Structure 1
Amino acid sequence: MGRLPAAMAPIAVLLAARADHASTALGAVLAALYALAGAIGQPLLGRVVDRSTLAAVAVPAAAVSGAAFIALAFVDWAAQPLAAAVLSVVAGAATPPLEAGLRAMWSRLVEPRHHHKVFALDSASQEVVFVAGPLLATAVCLLASPDLALVACAVAGSAGTLAVAARPPASVRSPARAVHWLGPLRSTGLLVLLTASVFFGVTLGSFTVLALSYADRHHEGWLAGVLPAALSFGSLVGGAAWAKLKRPWSSSRALPAVGTVYASGFAVLLLPAPPWLMITASVLPGLFLAPWLASAFAACDALAPSGTATEAAAWLIAVIGLGQAAGTAAAGQFSAYGHTATAAVPLLGAALAAAALVAGRRRLSLP
Structure 2
Amino acid sequence: MTRTVTTETIDVTLGERSYPVWIGRGLLDDHARWRAAVRGRHVLVISNHTVAPLYLERVSRGLDGLKWSSFQLEDGEAHKTFANVGHALHALSQLGATRDACVIALGGGVVGDLAGFTAACWMRGIDFIQMPTTLLSMVDSSVGGKTGVNLPAGKNLVGAFHQPRAVIADIGTLDSLPEREYRAGLAEIIKGAAIGDPELFTWLELHADALHRRDEARLIQAIAAKVRYKAGVVARDETEQGERALLNLGHTFGHALETAGHYTTLLHGEGVAIGMLLAARLSERLGMSAAADTERLGALLHQVGLPTCVPAGFDARQLLALMHLDKKNTAGLLRLILWRGIGQAEIVSGVGESDVLAVLDEAIGVHTR
TM-score (norm 2): 0.26
Structure label with greater radius of gyration: 2
Higher RCO (C-alpha 8 Å, min separation 6): 1
The structure carrying a bigger strand percent of its residues is 2
TM-score (norm 1): 0.27
